[in-house]
A and B are shown apart, each in its own frame.
Chain A
Amino acid sequence: MATHAPTHAHTDHGHGHHAPPKPLWYWWKRAIVWTISGALAGIALVFFFRWAFGFSNLWEPESYYTAIASLAGIGFVIGIGCFDWWWAYLRGKHVDFEDHSLHGAKTWRDYLRPNTDHKVIGIQYMVAVFTFFVVGGLLAELVRLELAQPGFQIADGETYNGYFSAHATVMIFGFVIPSFAGLANYVLPVMIGAKDMAFPRLNALSFWLLLPAGAMLAIAPFVGAFSAGWTAYPPLAVQGTTGQTLFEVAVQFAGASSIATALNFLVTIMTMRAPGMTVWRMPLLVWANATTSGLVVFGTPFIAGSQFMTLFDRVVGTNFFNAANGGDVIMYQHVFWFYSHPAVYIMMLPGFGIISEVLSTFSRKPIFGYRALAFSTVAIALLGFGVWAHHMFVSGMASWLRIPMMITTIIIAVPTGVKIFSWLGTIWNGKIHLKTPMIWALGFIFTFVIGGLSGVFLGTLTTDIALTDTYFVVAHIHYVFFGGSVFTIFAGTYYWFPKMTGRMYSETLGKWHFWLTFIGFNGTFFPQHWLGAHGMPRRVADYDERFADLNLIISLFSLFMVAGTLVFFYNMIWSWRSGPKAPWNPWRGRSLEWLVSSPPSLFNFDAVPQVVGGPYQYGIPGARHAVVYAGDHLGGGELTETELRTVLVVANRTVASSSLLDQVKARAEEGYWRFTIVVPAKGDDHRAADRRLQVALAVLAEAGIDASGTVEDLGPLEAVKRILEEEPAHEVMLATLPTGQSEWMQQDMIDRVRKASGIAVTRVIVRGDDARTAVRSAAVQRIAVIANDTLGDAGLVSALQARADERPLAAVVLCPLSLDGPGWTDDADKVRDEATGRTRAVIQRLQDSGIQAHGEVIDGDPVAAAKIARSDYKVDTVLVCSYRRDSSEELLGQVRAAAGDTAVEHVVVDAEAPAAPSGA
């Protein structure tokens, strides 16, 4: 039975309107249950296998650690909810591709649950990675504490090996690599004009995968620690302490997280840039993240492979690296470094992107040599796959490989040098503003040049043989990792802090952070060049007496860095909570993220921006990077367009729905849109389509909106092309039923229209019931049809069609069913069913003719129906339809009385053959 339920607009705000948000403990309770279940499943699995295959030692711990870590980790990401939507999909359930129920954050709780909003995920990453930074930094201080004096002070050899192994692992996999993922996650989609990443659910999974990795690294010390360095060479890694197993599994989780993010970035950058953003108009951060993502996707599997092999050697007893049984010890190093050298570029290139943004903005100058910087980024990435063996010059590998690897290695110095010089060219003759991000960027140039130069010593074979495995290398890596990557991370964090938090940080504290760190950093690491040159090996807790004084000084300098870090955290936390509100564009930057609010709205942009120039056009009067359409009330006045621009609305069955018409009205409120409606009615009833169109036009006209429309005997794609040939439009609004029900969606109409038209396409989802429900508007006449026996008659429908052709109308069909006696006899039920069937049929026929209709069977007589029509449905006119032979003036009089002010008409239907389906 058709109902008169209120209209249900399905424009999705993403606030989970249709269900209350779940409380925090819901997610974490699930996560805990699944994690524990995973751990128990792991134990059961290993026990079963060891028993079934007759292993003597049923409880050998490492196989259990492996299984527990892996399955608990997987259990965690399942339990926290990352797979919920996919689980429904893969079971064949109906899913909404536009499910935004997990999108956005209103309170701090929304940050502690799976969230599909890239901005939330970006902040989740940043908080997580800085936590890892603290852990890695504490480990570094343990190292420096031990090294302050020769001999063993706070740790024995094995424990000390654990300190620096964990320090490096946590810093690389827990801090540097994911920090760039986090910053880019937040900034990059906005920077390219997208509303989110290509795969928001995958994005969420990437973040949550990091937590098990971190947990494993944190638990490792309690099960024996891992102490073979972050490089984990066998045979030491195979023979060494128990915690090594957890390292090997943690790397897999971190690697999977990294690959998933990179895949997401690549697809996002390739397919979701705003119209007009050619590759030569992309900000350099986008170039950097695209190339880095390529490195991650193709390089990371090699470290996964290397850790699988050591894991198997440890836990399964294979002989990959057992020389006695045909294994190849050095092979590990080839496989490991084939990733780990590109890894250093993974840790560097996004930072280079950040520096380009910062230097340009705070020098108020275009990037010097934009194309050279872009090409050099790609060159470094590609060349970076061909240099791995420079980490192995003294490994005993095939000696013929060394010179070619030296050559490829020092070739990379060329594009790197090009970058440094281009950055100097950018600031030269600029207008330099020494804000905190800029100071970090300038400091970065200083320290990175030192790191790069020391790298040349290590890339040159002869000097590498002297200097490798010494503190010279430690100095080099920290100059490029800390003075390089970490400085850029700080630069980026300060730069985008206002955008991400909506608050300004304290400049004073920012500068204190920089100087404390800069002084501490150089004091800690510059002397290490000397230590290495004079014979102090790396990875030792005890060293020669003659190095004692310098090591003490170094350890003391490291405390400056600790102080600086404390200042940083204080600044971040205090400013986030109570800093002054940040404007949209505190730095007067030109890229897209600065042209929206701080922080951006839920889906970043109100309308798709149009990119019209490069992103660094400082100093060129009138130059624009992009046009961002914004409503006046959002304060985007500077960029508001004032001439009317046309939106082409494409809809057929949904054209008269309130969802669509509300959208159109909302858009019209922005003040500069007009609308051309095209109804592609190929294969459909044109008269019906036209009736629907007239309803839409009437409603819009009543609202004072400039709209016109036509019905075309074409499919949607052809109709769009035809209309665009005649008049240009700036946006297409395509209204469809939800994905599972919409033929157009099945035909991938959005993408096809977009490609064919070359302009932005937005989609309005209209639910089926909404499409069928009348829009409330003075322009649409609401008619109640009171009829019973005549419901099956074609004449009734024709009469209504004729009326609809004169004036847009919506009908409510009321079938009065007067039954004598109790209403639940079998006969009575039969009568009721038939009446219901007739009512439904009429409603369907009316819908098919383009007249929005709904209705019900009324228990009562026509008078009662008239009352209901007036009081419940508030119709404008009541039509009483009866056969000539059944007409009764008396009844009509009663109906008129019951209807009060509402007009009543009597439609006489000549008794004819049973209803034929309404034509045309």
Chain B
Amino acid sequence: MAAEHTATVSSHGDVAAPGRGAGISQGMLAMILFIGSEAMLFASFFTAYFMVRYNIAENDWPPIKDLATGERFEPPVLGTGVNTAFLVFSSFTVWYAEHRLKHGDRKGLERGLIVTMLLGATFLAVQINEYVHLGFTPQDQAYGAAFYTLTGFHGLHVFVGLTLLWICYLRIKRAHDFTPQWATPLGAASLYWHFVDVVWVFLYVVVYLI
């Protein structure tokens, strides 16, 4: 059968039309689309938040937690603000890691990745600690539902991002992956990390600040 003599073709895609495209690899394209769908998932939860806040509560916000005392829900703006700084900084460290790789500096790559992961883990640890000390539960009115769902799903995404970065790190150490010319999985993981960061900044501003 002539099929037996078919040469294998690169996993990096079969054929492209001549003069094709912006030079985005299949892996990055897939990550961009995936991030698009994840962004929409967050959008659905933000929709819930906005409707509960503006439609039902008519912006009497944060709403009253305890009718007896008139005490209102109070998200920990300051502590989470510091935490936000950690996460934002970690986007810079992962950018730094990619940048060093382009210069062939593998040690710099590893350093950058490790610092990013530490910052991310710190963010998660602080978030979990905040959950313990928040003073309200998911069952506390629609506010609690929206708050915990938004921050909880975000935390899950941070965890996924950390996992992706860790996988890259393992492949660097064990399989000597990535070169200045080809680092698609690293690029994808770092893009995902930036996405997680951007969602958090938006969440922090919308839920904690305004």
Chains A and B touch each other in the complex, with CB atoms below 8 Å apart: yes
A-side interface residues toward B, CB under 8 Å? 11-13, 89-94, 97-98, 100, 193-196, 198-199, 259, 263, 266-267, 270-278, 297-302, 304-306, 308-309, 312-313, 316-320, 322-323, 325-328, 330-331, 334-335, 338, 398, 601-603, 606, 608, 630-631, 633-634, 663, 666-667, 670, 733, 739-740, 745-748, 750-751, 754-755, 758-765
Which B residues lie within 8 Å of A306 (CB)? 44
Q: A309-B48, A327-B56, A746-B179 are in contact. Are A320 and B18 (CB under 8 A)?
A: no
Which A residues lie within 8 Å of B19 (CB)? 758
Which A residues lie within 8 Å of B29 (CB)? 266-267, 270-271
CA–CA, A838 and B37, complex, Å? 60
Q: Which of B8, B43, B143, B182 has the most CB of A within 10 A?
A: B8
Q: Do A263 and B34 touch (CB < 8 A)? A: yes
CB distance from B28 to the nearest CB of A (A): 10
The stretch of B93-101, B169-177, B196-204 that contacts the partner chain = B169-177
CB distance from B149 to the nearest CB of A (A): 7
Which B residues lie within 8 Å of A603 (CB)? 3, 6, 9
Q: Do B167 and A90 touch (CB < 8 A)? A: yes
Q: A312-B138, A326-B63 are in contact. Are A750 and B149 (CB under 8 A)?
A: no
In the complex, which residue of chain B has the Cβ closest to the Cβ of A733?
B7
Query: Is B70 close to A, CB under 8 A?
Result: no
Beyond A11-B5, A327-B145, A331-B48, 13 extra complex contacts between A and B, CB < 8 Å: A90-B167, A97-B11, A98-B11, A271-B29, A273-B17, A302-B43, A312-B149, A327-B141, A334-B51, A631-B2, A733-B7, A745-B182, A748-B12
CA–CA, A12 and B6, complex, Å? 8
In the complex, which residue of chain B has the Cβ closest to the Cβ of A277?
B17
Sort chain B's interface into a size bin: 35 or more
CA–CA, A667 and B6, complex, Å? 9
Q: Which of A195, A263, A740 has the most CB of B within 10 A?
A: A263
Q: A326-B63, A758-B19 are in contact. Are A763 and B44 (CB under 8 A)?
A: no
Q: Do B44 and A91 touch (CB < 8 A)? A: no
Scan B51-68; emit 1 where CB is below 8 A from any A CB, else 0: 110011100000100000
Q: Do B181 and A331 touch (CB < 8 A)? A: no
In B121-144, the 8 Å CB interface with A consists of 138-144
In the complex, which residue of chain B has the Cβ closest to the Cβ of A270?
B29
In the complex, which residue of chain B has the Cβ closest to the Cβ of A281?
B17
Sample 25 A-B pairs with CB under 8 A, ordered by A number. A12-B8, A92-B170, A198-B13, A270-B21, A272-B16, A276-B18, A300-B37, A301-B38, A301-B43, A302-B43, A309-B45, A309-B48, A318-B138, A326-B141, A327-B52, A327-B141, A327-B142, A398-B55, A630-B2, A634-B2, A751-B12, A758-B19, A760-B15, A761-B15, A764-B7
Q: Do A335 and B44 touch (CB < 8 A)? A: yes
Q: Do A318 and B41 touch (CB < 8 A)? A: no
**Of A301, A308, A325, A762, which is within 8 A of B37 by CB?**
A301
Q: Do A320 and B181 touch (CB < 8 A)? A: no
**Chain B interface SS verdict (over half):** helix
Which A residues lie within 8 Å of B145 (CB)? 309, 312-313, 318-320, 327
Which B residues lie within 8 Å of A330 (CB)? 51, 55
Which A residues lie within 8 Å of B34 (CB)? 263
Q: Do B17 and A278 touch (CB < 8 A)? A: yes
Q: A90-B170, A748-B182 are in contact. Are A316 and B139 (CB under 8 A)?
A: yes
In the complex, which residue of chain A has the Cβ closest to the Cβ of B44?
A305
Which B residues lie within 8 Å of A634 (CB)? 2
Q: Do B175 and A608 touch (CB < 8 A)? A: no
CA–CA, A754 and B138, complex, Å? 54
In the complex, which residue of chain A has the Cβ closest to the Cβ of B152?
A312
**Of B5, B12, B36, B40, which is within 8 A of A302 by CB?**
B40
CB distance from B36 to the nearest CB of A (A): 6
CB distance from B141 to the nearest CB of A (A): 5
CA–CA, A195 and B43, complex, Å? 36
Q: Do A13 and B4 touch (CB < 8 A)? A: yes
CA–CA, A707 and B114, complex, Å? 52
Q: A92-B175, A326-B52 are in contact. Are A320 and B16 (CB under 8 A)?
A: no
Q: A267-B33, A325-B141 are in contact. Are A273 and B6 (CB under 8 A)?
A: no
Which A residues lie within 8 Å of B146 (CB)? 320
Which B residues lie within 8 Å of A748 (CB)? 12, 25, 181-182
Q: A199-B30, A326-B52 are in contact. Are A11 and B7 (CB under 8 A)?
A: yes
